[in-house]
């Protein structure tokens, strides 16, 4: 269903996988689940996706639940990526990117 957050999560998963990147979805943490984790040699990217909300709401959720703490022992920098999709326009309406530990 193109009107679900899961639809856009699957699209991103397929795109990153086709690009040869290691990506995992619904990664458990002590306080919830990260929608998607993309691992590269240089960084970990934590994605929180929202549908018809805002990138700020997604970033606030990552901060409130401290998803990045789950990956703190990894030596790579952690980058939080918050994305909002618009179901009517079928596109990204806004996004925020922050390095863990910085605002």
> Could you state, in chain order, the average pLDDT of each consecutive group of 10 residues for the chain (103 residues)?
79 86 89 92 94 95 93 92 91 92 55
Which regions of the chain does DSSP assign to beta strands (E)? 22-28, 33-39, 44-51, 78-86, 91-99
- pLDDT value at residue 80: 96
Q: Model confidence over 11-38: pLDDT tens digits?
A: 888 888 888 888 989 989 888 999 999 9
- pLDDT value at residue 18: 86
What kind and span of H or E run contains 58? Answer: helix 55-64
- pLDDT value at residue 39: 93
CA separation for the pair 100, 103 (Å, rounded): 8
DSSP state of 69: G
- pLDDT value at residue 67: 93
Q: How many other CB atoms sit within 10 Å of the CB of residue 101? A: 10
DSSP state of 103: -
- pLDDT value at residue 103: 47
- pLDDT value at residue 90: 82
Is 37 in contact with 45 (CB distance < 8 Å)?
A: yes
């Amino acid at each position: 269903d193109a009107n679900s957050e899961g639809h856009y999560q699957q699209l991103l998963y397929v795109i990153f996988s086709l690009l040869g990147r290691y990506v995992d979805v619904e990664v458990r943490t002590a306080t919830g689940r990260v929608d998607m984790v993309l691992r590269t040699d240089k960084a970990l990217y934590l994605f929180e996706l929202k549908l018809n909300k805002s990138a700020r709401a997604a970033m606030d959720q990552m901060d409130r639940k401290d998803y990045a703490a789950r990956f703190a022992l990894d030596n790579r920098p952690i980058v939080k990526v918050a994305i909002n999709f618009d179901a009517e326009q079928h596109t990204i309406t806004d996004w925020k990117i922050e390095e863990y530990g910085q605002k």
